[in-house]
Structure 1
Amino acid sequence: MVAAPADAVGPLVENALGTVARRMGAERAYVFVLSRDGSTMRNTQEWSASGLGLGGPSAPPVSTSLIPRWMETLQHGDDIRIDDVTKLPETWRVDREQLEQLEVRSVAAVAIRVAGRMGGFVAMEMLSDTRSWRDSEMRALGFLGDLIGGAFERRRNEQKLLDSRRRLEEIALYDPLTRLPNRRLLADRMDEAVARAREQGLLLGVCYLDLDGFKPINDTHGHKMGDRVLVTVASRLRGCVREDDTVARLGGDEFVLLMNHLESLSDCAALLERVLAALAQPIQIDGHSLAVTGSAGVTLFPQDAGDADTLLRHADHAMYQAKQHGRNRFQFFKSVKDQPDESHKLELVRIREAIEGDELRLHVQPRVDMGSGRVVGVEALVRWEHPERGLLPPGEFLPLMEGDELLHDLDWWVMDGALDLLAQWQDAGLDLTMSLNLSACSLQDTGFVASLQEMLARHPSIDPARLLFEIIESEALRDIETTASVIRACAVLGVQFALDGFGNGYASLIDFRCLPAQVVKIDQTVVRDILRSRDDRNLVKGVIGIANAFQREVIAEGVESAAHGLLLMDLGCTLAQGYGIAEPMPPQQLAAWIEGFRPPRLWSTRPSVDWSTVDLSLLSMEAVHRDWVKRLIRHVLSDTATKLPDLQLASCDFGRWYLGDGRARYGQLHAFQALGDLHGQVHRQGLRLLEIDRLDRELMAAPIATLLEERDILVEGIRSLQVHVLEDRPRGDVA
């Protein structure tokens, strides 16, 4: 009964109730379950020898005040053993009257305990005559009560897990402001729509829509007014499309329309005309008449025969063309041939030469236990030291390798290098684990486990438990049986697996249970916004709860500030990595970094934080500042491909906070006042960097290093202010 599925508990309890009642010679038996506050009780199961029951589950709840001494006795941990109801003492008068009204002559009952508290009771009754209840019968009844309590507790826990997953899916798949599908759910629906259109020969439209005139509303009237405008826009968009179409919000003022079963290009154009006309109507809010319009780009499948990502990219491209042609209009995508196959083949040949020619480099990013401040491991990350283009991040070349056997070769190159590093660190006295990203093609290679065993044999000094393979959640789900069997086989060798990117995919609880990965890594896209988004905080809290329920270790990636780490510890996660702890570095720098690493004071003092107050702006400033510096460096290194951040002291994100809310709340504090000069130094160094010739990368190295030093000085100032403000506050709940 205890191990039974939730939907089978009720029938099993009824069957057990009848079996025990017949063995005890009882004439009626029943189970009552208490309400949450204990004020009422409900008859959930019953059995009767004569067919004369109490009404069963269909009967309404009754008040526990009808049997006050009965309830008091069970609450105190005693059993009820009444041989003759008529002989109950005067203190039981109310209970006696109720039992006599039900024509009960003798009764025995025991409490049902669920999670350590009384959740109800099970009782056996005699109606035709009195009788004595033997000790053996009371033990049998007590055993039945324990069984029912265990079954109810299991059912409750399963329901809590299902409810948590349901809430997580809602948070993960829908935009919290507009309740529209978000990017994740849109991707799922686009894949389904493309597959359906391909199979049935249907016309599918994908529209990327951006609002014109929304930013001035935000700047003039504030973000709350802007949010109300977005809610109105979402409602209008829903009203324009058909029932089986999808309207999704990607973020900011960007929306996507997925239009199914279109008859023709003109059918699509007519729908978009309705959309633009609806958006152009004035929006009336609190006496303000606000105006926005829309610029839309659209592409049609199968004329544009790409996958979901390609269709969305083409629609985005067409949207920018619409803006260039005057806004408040839509533009169909004009197909441009993608990169020729021959060119792609040449790039793959060049990447193979890089692997074989010793042009690839392993960098490592430290992972720390924030609770103890100890460095516990690193993640190995590959870089390409290109002779002409400099050090390239994986995003510059890994996408070109997707689906090619080169990924398999790269996995083994990384693995061999990682084991060599572990051996060196072990000799130097560093006790670290190493996590490696494993591609789907290696995971599904039938010879993978045997090859891994051979490689481990070539490094006999390395404990296999120091290796942690990371597999992306979505790739693990492609062939869940193969993935699970590989994980189990590697566990025999001592090698562990982590489910990477969790919280950003679609694994069900059943999938999660079937994947025996020992570690869960919470995706950085979820962690990044936990300081600003209550929904992302709830999502992370839910992921941690599910991981704990399945006894999996949890690692958070994307920790961009000390405040991120503090919040994660409050949520129950202590293992973390991210740019707020350390950026990826050459392995030869790791020992010195570990020697100099000092955990932020926020982590050691654990000041009290109310995670719903205006102090969240202060706690977000480290990440805001780091992001500004990162975007500036990307801009100068990518030949302006990345948008230049605001260089004005008063109008960049940090500057607006410093001169606005920050000054109003903390302006009297010396720690706050010191930030002004530090902020100015960062901006001045940024301007110097822009004056350097972008083509001379060697000349840029020193100014970038200086900018990073100035950044870190300001970060320390921000952290000092955070500690000063928060240390004496009463601890608030994480919400």
Structure 2
Amino acid sequence: MRAQRKFGGMPEVQRLRRRLPVKLRQAPLIRQDLSRRSIREQVLLVREGLVQARELAMSLREKYGGHRHRIGNAFASHVTLLRQANAHLVVASMEAIRLAEQIQHAKVELDRLAHHDGLTNLPNRLLLGDRLQQAIELARRRHGQLAVMFIDLDRFKHINDSLGHAVGDQLLQAVARCLVRCVRGSDTVCRQGGDEFILLLPEIEHAEDAAAIAQKILHAMALSHLVEHHALHIGLSIGVSLFPGDGQDAATLLRNADIAMYHAKEAGRNNCTFFEPAMNARAILRQSIEAGLRLALERQEFVLHYQPKIDLASGRLVGAEALVRWRHPQRGLLLPQHFIAIAEECGLIVPLGHWVLRQACEQAQAWRRQGLPPLLMAVNTSPLEFRSAGFLPFLRQTLAETGLGPACLELELTESMLMHDVHASDRLLKAISAMGVKLAIDDFGTGYSSLSYLSQFPIHTLKIDQSFVSQMTGSKDDATIVSAVISMGKSLHKQVIAEGVETLQQCAFLTAHGCDEGQGYYFSQALDAQAFAHLRNQSRFDPAGGR
């Protein structure tokens, strides 16, 4: 006991013990911080402690040799703990390095996902904004130019709706690859979202450079894309704005490129349009129309007018085409060309089409209750409405609730909307025909050149497009087309109607070639329900002299 007290109280031992780091006297030494720096510091600390422990043991042996056994016992536990701690720290350091690498990889991946589109792996709007801002600053310092292209796929929604989102996604990926191949390595191709893409062309010398790239893109996209055994063709509408002329900041350049893109669509789609200052006024008007459309149905601002269809042989009024008008609170009565395209783009065409169909059926029944002779009511059907999931049930419901006989209703469709998805169209047309509703091809001759669908689909009526009718008395080619359509319709047992009849000469030509019916200003413009009812009281029209 005396020896232990003496050994434990030796000033030299106390001093040497205090030389050990505090952390080494408080084993275990492993901390929870797994950063690389912390682990390395702990390993070095343990190794330094081992060295100091060995030095302490050697020093005590030299000075207090007679107490070697007690010295060994006193420090053995410290050395053992230090060695165990060192082994644990080596394993922990390796695990920490592995975790740190995973964390770093995850950070890189998160950064990529934050700046790239998940479907196409193109830069997204966030990354485009950074690059566009940098490109503007560089162009400003160098007194140079840059171009921004806003690209929208034409009728992409039709493909998505008819063939499914999986096919639509693959088509978007194919378009993305095509765009990347068409631009320079210094350019940026960004997916804005949906079917919209934006191209940033920094450091261009002339506007013609941007036009050349746009034409290259249009030519490349004219080729078909093979997606799940579907050979898909997709057009592009491209709007272009230039720095500094069309905007001094990113937001203005993007907005003006977007405006130009809408003008490209209005000009016929699948083309490129450069921004012009006058487009701003039209864009503001378009926004006003879109906002008004959203309230027009609720406020009952739409009205139907009816254009007579005349049997050319007898002069009798045999049908009517329902045409929608918008009684705009500020702009007065608007024709369809001022708002139908906008309604399609903003998703309002389906509820508007449903309203037109029901209103036309109700009006046809109202005339019958007034004692007027029955007639065939024709209603235009938009592609989006025709392909919507609820169209067929709504058609059945409308006929049932209004009481209109199916044989008194005719749906007018375009060639292009039927040929977009032949199999789906065939099933739907046969279901409609089985109900007893008649089907007409509107604007016949302006769509697909293949006429095989005339025998495949249950079509009742062909409507010769007014562009041929208006020129047929002055153009041999148009006269030949019109007479050929009439002859073909007769041989296929279809009714043939000519629209846009405006002159006596046109009416006489059509009558002489056996056209069944005609409609146009020569007979009457579209009338409201009351005026049309008054017109129906007239016994007949004289094809040789109008009314």
With normalisation by structure 1, the TM-score equals 0.38
Deviations 1:628-667 (A, max 9, x none): xxxxxxxxxxxxxxxxxxxxxxxxxxxxxxxxxxxxxxxx
- Counterparts of 1:311 and 1:403 in 2: how far apart (Å)? 11
Structure 1 position 536 matched with structure 2 position 478: yes
1:194-343 matched pairs, under 5 angstroms: 199=179, 201-202=181-182, 310=264, 313=267
Q: CA deviation at 1:544?
A: 1.9
1:316-465 matched pairs, under 5 angstroms: 347-427=289-369, 428-460=371-403, 462-465=404-407
Q: CA deviation at 1:333?
A: 6.3
1:365·1:585 contact (CA, 8 Å) conserved in 2?
Answer: yes
1:88 corresponds to: none
Give the aligned residue type for 1:529: Q
1:499 corresponds to: 441
Structure 2 SS opposite 1:402: helix
Structure 2 SS opposite 1:501: strand
Structure 1 SS opposite 2:511: helix
Structure 1 position 578 matched with structure 2 position 532: no
- Counterparts of 2:490 and 2:423 in 1: how far apart (Å)? 23
- Counterparts of 1:563 and 1:197 in 2: how far apart (Å)? 54
1:557 corresponds to: 499
- Counterparts of 1:300 and 1:375 in 2: how far apart (Å)? 47
Q: CA deviation at 1:459?
A: 2.0
1:473 corresponds to: 415
With normalisation by structure 2, the TM-score equals 0.50
Among candidates 426, 429, 435, match of residue 484 of structure 1? 426
2:443·2:465 contact (CA, 8 Å) conserved in 1?
Answer: yes
Structure 2 SS opposite 1:602: coil
2:412·2:442 contact (CA, 8 Å) conserved in 1?
Answer: yes
Structure 1 SS opposite 2:373: coil
1:690-709 matched pairs, under 5 angstroms: none
- Counterparts of 2:507 and 2:410 in 1: how far apart (Å)? 22
Structure 1 SS opposite 2:463: strand
Q: CA deviation at 1:602?
A: 2.5
2:392·2:432 contact (CA, 8 Å) conserved in 1?
Answer: yes
- Counterparts of 1:423 and 1:401 in 2: how far apart (Å)? 28
Deviations 1:560-615 (A, max 9, x none): 12221110122221211001110001111113223346533637xxxxxxxxxxxx
Give the aligned residue type for 2:330: E
- Counterparts of 2:430 and 2:485 in 1: how far apart (Å)? 23
Q: Considering only CA atoms, is the larger Rg found in Structure 1 or Structure 2?
A: 2
- Counterparts of 2:502 and 2:330 in 1: how far apart (Å)? 31
Deviations 1:5-56 (A, max 9, x none): xxxxxxxxxxxxxxxxxxxxxxxxxxxxxxxxxxxxxxxxxxxxxxxxxxxx
Give the aligned residue type for 1:386: H
- Counterparts of 1:314 and 1:301 in 2: how far apart (Å)? 16
- Counterparts of 2:500 and 2:282 in 1: how far apart (Å)? 36
1:504·1:526 contact (CA, 8 Å) conserved in 2?
Answer: no
Q: CA deviation at 1:514?
A: 3.1
Q: CA deviation at 1:342?
A: 9.3
Structure 1 SS opposite 2:452: helix
Distance 1:334 1:201, change over 3 A: farther
Deviations 1:464-503 (A, max 9, x none): 1100011122222222222222111111111111110111
Structure 1 position 590 matched with structure 2 position 532: yes
Q: CA deviation at 1:345?
A: 5.9
Among candidates 493, 502, 515, match of residue 457 of structure 2? 515
Deviations 1:129-153 (A, max 9, x none): xxxxxxxxxxxxxxxxxxxxxxxxx
Q: CA deviation at 1:200?
A: 6.7
Q: CA deviation at 1:360?
A: 0.9
1:198·1:302 contact (CA, 8 Å) conserved in 2?
Answer: no
2:343·2:349 contact (CA, 8 Å) conserved in 1?
Answer: yes
- Counterparts of 2:380 and 2:340 in 1: how far apart (Å)? 12
- Counterparts of 2:281 and 2:525 in 1: how far apart (Å)? 33
Query: 5+ unaligned residues in a row in structure 1: which ranges?
Result: 1-186, 188-194, 204-263, 273-298, 320-331, 604-714, 717-735
Structure 1 position 526 matched with structure 2 position 480: no
1:487·1:496 contact (CA, 8 Å) conserved in 2?
Answer: no
- Counterparts of 2:207 and 2:291 in 1: how far apart (Å)? 45
- Counterparts of 2:480 and 2:474 in 1: how far apart (Å)? 12
Identity between Structure 1 and Structure 2 (%):
30
Q: CA deviation at 1:391?
A: 1.4
- Counterparts of 1:582 and 1:351 in 2: how far apart (Å)? 28
Give the aligned residue type for 1:440: P
- Counterparts of 1:450 and 1:582 in 2: how far apart (Å)? 34
2:21 corresponds to: none
Distance 1:375 1:601, change over 3 A: closer
- Counterparts of 2:497 and 2:471 in 1: how far apart (Å)? 16
Q: CA deviation at 1:308?
A: 10
Structure 2 SS opposite 1:395: helix
Q: CA deviation at 1:339?
A: 7.6
Q: CA deviation at 1:512?
A: 3.5
1:650-669 matched pairs, under 5 angstroms: none
Distance 1:334 1:457, change over 3 A: closer
1:178 corresponds to: none
- Counterparts of 2:477 and 2:320 in 1: how far apart (Å)? 29
Give the aligned residue type for 1:580: Y
Distance 1:390 1:450, change over 3 A: same
Q: CA deviation at 1:548?
A: 2.7
Give the superposed CA RMSD: 4.0
Structure 1 SS opposite 2:372: coil
Distance 1:602 1:550, change over 3 A: same
Q: CA deviation at 1:546?
A: 2.7
1:443·1:483 contact (CA, 8 Å) conserved in 2?
Answer: no
